[in-house]
Amino acid sequence: MLAQVNSSSFWEPVGLSLQVSIAATAIAFAVGLLVAWRMSAASFYGKTLVETVFLLPLVLPPSVVGFILLVMLGKNSWIGQAADTLLHLSFVFQPLGAVIAAAVVSFPLIYQTLKSGFQAVDKELKDAARSQGAGEWQVLAYIVLPLASRSLQAAGVLGFARALGEFGATMMIAGNIPGRTQTIPTAIYFAVDAGNLQLAWALTGCTILLSFGLLLISSRLKND
C-alpha cells in the first residue's frame, strides 16, 4: 500500500508527529515531575480544586482545549504579543503551537502517573533521609526517583502516546499545513475528506502499530 502512497504525504506527518510528541512529552514530563513531587506531599485548603484544574484537559473536548489555547496564545493576547515582541515567536499555525497543544493534553496522564509513583514510595524512607539532613531535592533525586523509576517510565510512555494521538487542540491552534503543522491525526482526517483512503489507511496502520507498541511497553513496565 505504501508504494501507492505519495512518500512525502506519508513521511512528513509521521516525522512531524514524532518530533512534536517528543518535544511535548519532554515539556509535560518536566512540569509534571515538579508539580507531582510538590502535590504528592502537600496538604492545603483547595488542593482538590487545584488538582481538578490540572486534570481538566483529560476530560474536556480537545476542541475546547484548543480554543482556550488559541485565546491565551493568539496574537491578540498579552502572551502572544509579548512572545512576538520579545522573542519573535508565534504560536498560531506554527509547530510550536502543536507542541504546546500536545503537551497540555498529555500533562494530566503524566501528572497522575508520577504522583501515584511518588506516593507509593515508603514515607519512612523519605523521613529517614530528611532526619539525616537531606533536603527536599536530595530526597527526590536519591530516594524517590530511583524507587519510582517504573512510574517515571510509564508516565513518559503514556504521555508520548497521548501526544501522538492529539487532534482537536492541534487543529485549533496549529492548523493543518502540510510539511509544517500537519501531524498524523490531521493528515488522516484530511486524507479521508479528500477521498484518499490509501493514505488514510497507511497513516492509520502506522498509528495503530505505534500506539500498540507504546501500550505494550507501558503494561510491561507496570507489571514488572
Q: Assign residue 195 a region (left: φ > 0; alpha: ψ between -120 and 50; beta: otherwise).
A: left
Q: Are 57 and 107 in contact (CB under 8 A)?
A: yes
User: What share of the chain in percent tops pLDDT 70?
Assistant: 96
The string of pLDDT tens digits covering residues 124-183 is 888 888 888 888 888 888 889 999 988 999 999 999 999 999 999 999 999 888 888 999
Describe the crossing of helices 197-223 and 7-41 by its angle, rounded to 10 degrees: 30
Rounded to an integer, what distance in angstroms lies between the CA atom of residue 158 and that of residue 82? 33
What are the DSSP calls for 30-67, one per residue? HHHHHHHHHHHH---TTHHHHHHHHHHHHHS-HHHHHH
Whether residue 95 is predicted with pLDDT greater than 50 in this model: the reply is yes
Rounded to an integer, what distance in angstroms lies between the CA atom of residue 160 and that of residue 21? 6
pTM of the model: 0.89
pLDDT of the residue at 46: 84
Which class does domain 2-223 fall in?
mainly alpha
The string of pLDDT tens digits covering residues 20-55 is 999 999 999 999 999 999 898 878 888 899 999 999
Question: Taking Cα atoms as reference points, which of 83, 110, 78, 81 lies closest to residue 96?
Answer: 83
Rounded to an integer, what distance in angstroms lies between the CA atom of residue 82 and that of residue 191? 36
